[in-house]
Amino acid sequence: MKKKIILSVSLSLLLVLGITGAVFASGNVKLIINGKSIATDVSPKVVNGRVLVPISTVSKELHSVVQWDAAKNSVVVNPDTWTSEQEIDRGVWVWSRNKILEFFIAYDSRDMEGALALLDENFTSNRLNKSEIMPVSGFDSNIIDFKFRDVAYVKSKLTVRVQVITKMDKDLLKVADWDFTFSGTHPSNGKITSIQVSNERDLTEYTVFPGLTIDNKDYLK
């Protein structure tokens, strides 16, 4: 399957939701995201039967990236990390996704043996030490949530980008991009060769879904 097709689905969903919301909009418009009323620098308004809201505010609350492409006169939400068009086999995607899920489960449950079984003998990382890869309860981070962001062959290696939200017991909530690189021609016969963490930033709070929000006091709301 083409990576381009996968990434277009989310964008289409945003457009459909916007049109559906416009049908019911009337009077003063409030912006509510994940059950929270959000303040905006520009007030939402109804124009010709359509609801207009500031896309930068919406994207920020959803931890998405917004870019202005002057050459194409376009606003781009969650642009491709790797822009080249590539064919990604469905089986390759499923296997790589599942191995990442297995790693996250092992990481958060402190299963050293399970995590190491997923890592290549030449594993490298700018954040995780293979000999001390497990977080220690009360000291290191837990994974609060994650979102798959992109997949591509980078320098002939299958690489998957995942946006990961973590929190240490005494530290701030953080969001960062974790790039998983796999060995072998297919994840079914390969292992994770690299996890590179980038674009890390602090969060005040994070809503996993409406009704479950985690803040920097480690409280659930």
What is the SS3 assignment for 5?
helix
pTM higher than 0.95: no
Q: How confident is the model at residue 101 (pLDDT cuts 50, 70, 90)?
A: very high
State pLDDT tens for residues 152-201: 988 889 999 999 998 876 667 889 999 999 997 777 888 999 999 998 98
8-state DSSP, 188: G
Top pLDDT among 123 and 189 is at 123
What pLDDT was estimated at residue 21?
Answer: 44
- pLDDT tens-digit readout, 34-93: 666 777 777 787 777 777 787 777 777 766 667 666 777 777 775 556 665 678 888 899
Distance CA 140, CA 186 (A): 32
In percent, the amount of the chain with pLDDT more than 70 equals 69
The amino acid at 45 = K
Distance of alpha carbon 107 from the chain centroid: 17
Rounded to a whole number, what is the largest CA-CA distance in the chain?
61
